[in-house]
Amino acid sequence: MKLAIVPSYTGNDEAPPALHPLPPIGEVPKLEQWAAESAAYGKAMETLCEFLLHSAKTVEQKSQGLNVTFLALAAGAKSQGEQIQKIVSAGSELVVDDERFSIQDFLNVFSQTLTNLMEKIVFISEMSVRMAYYLDEATTHLGALESFVQKINKINKETNLLALNATIEAARFGEEGKGFGVVAGEVKSVSQSIQTLTFDMNSHIGAVASSLRGSYEVTQKLATTDMSEQILARERLDRMLLGLIEQNRHFSTVMQGAIDDSNKISQNISQAVIGMQFQDRNSQEIGNVVNVLRKLGEHLNAVPSIEEDEVVLRRMIEAIGGQFSLSELRKIFLSKMLGKDVAKDVAKEEGNASSSGAKNDEAIELF
């Protein structure tokens, strides 16, 4: 019986050749041929099943790895949400001397303080103008006092002169004028007392005038201090405060959005974790298929081979290997089936093939 001899896979990227060329019309493949080929597939079956189980295991391991990563992500998202919540709380409240104040409280205290200040400014203005008016009056009366004292002085001088004249007249009348002379002397002494008094009055009036001038200067300074600019500043402060409140409200809205986003992330991660559980089913399904394939392998191995030609068997195994497009997988398959040394020879032969073909192989594997 002649078996079809199959060339080794050359490594170019055409579709791998069929195990045997298509029979010309009319020829029917012999049962013996088919049996020999089935035996080769039977021998390869266990290796193929190992490959399947290995894939399933890889999926399981990678899934577990992803699971761990997702749990870490979920923890991160939760922590982020908590941090943002803290910022929102801190932003809407102040703690001063163990007392909590909201931004609204601050606005109220601030506003009330400014209103009280305005009241006091108006009050001080009123009082300083009243004081200015009183000092004006006092200055006028003082002026009057000063002129009265001058008049008293003048009258006193005249009185003194009269007393002098009287003394002279009295002296002229000698003994009869003595009494008159005494009276004149008394008048003179009274006049001197009045002069001392007016002198004292003058010095006191001078002191009062000086104090009054001092008070008037101070009052002027007080009353001319214009606080209208400070009053107008209130308007600007009020506007800034409202801006602060608006900004705070906007800030809270944005932060709340960020918290909502964090929560969505957590939910999506939970979904992903649930989705990952497919791998369990996947393992089971593959396990099921492998069981059936092993049975198929047993079935194919049960076919008795008419000839077990080593060379022919090797060539058939190589042909099956040629159906792998991943060169790594092909190498592992061949080394399991034929032994490591034999696989090396096959690889050498493949290495003699065109280099561009080999490169395409690598490209696929990288993907």
Cα(99)–Cα(79) distance, integer angstroms: 28
**Shortest reach from residue 231's CB to another protein, in Å:** 5
Beta bridge partners of 96: 99
The residues, ordered by sequence, that sit 6+ positions from 23 with a Cβ below 8 Å of its Cβ are: 29
**Shortest reach from residue 217's CB to another protein, in Å:** 13
**Shortest reach from residue 119's CB to another protein, in Å:** 7
Residue 168, both tokens:
């002279």
Closest CB to another protein among 87 and 132? 132
Task: Taking each helix axis as running N to C, give the angle between helix 278-301 and helix 31-92, from 0 to 180 degrees, rounded to the nearest 10.
Answer: 170
**Shortest reach from residue 226's CB to another protein, in Å:** 4
Residue 138, both tokens:
């006092």
Burial of 366 (0-12, 13-18, 19+ CB in 10 A): exposed
Length of the chain: 367
Cα(287)–Cα(290) distance, integer angstroms: 5
**Shortest reach from residue 126's CB to another protein, in Å:** 4
Residue 242 φ then ψ, to 5°? -65, -40
Query: Under the rule (CB under 8 A), what is the footprint of another protein?
Result: 115, 118-119, 121-130, 132-133, 136, 220, 223-228, 231-232, 234-235
**Shortest reach from residue 216's CB to another protein, in Å:** 12
Closest CB to another protein among 125 and 215? 125
Per the CB < 8 A criterion, the answer to whether 346 and 338 are in contact is yes
**Shortest reach from residue 78's CB to another protein, in Å:** 50
**Shortest reach from residue 108's CB to another protein, in Å:** 17
Per the CB < 8 A criterion, the answer to whether 4 and 18 are in contact is no
CB count within 10 Å of CB 222 equals 15
Closest CB to another protein among 48 and 118? 118
Cα(45)–Cα(49) distance, integer angstroms: 6
CB half-sphere exposure, 360, CA atoms < 13 A: 11
Instruction: List alpha helices for the chain, DSSP H.
Output: 31-92, 103-172, 178-224, 228-276, 278-301, 310-321, 327-338, 340-351, 355-366
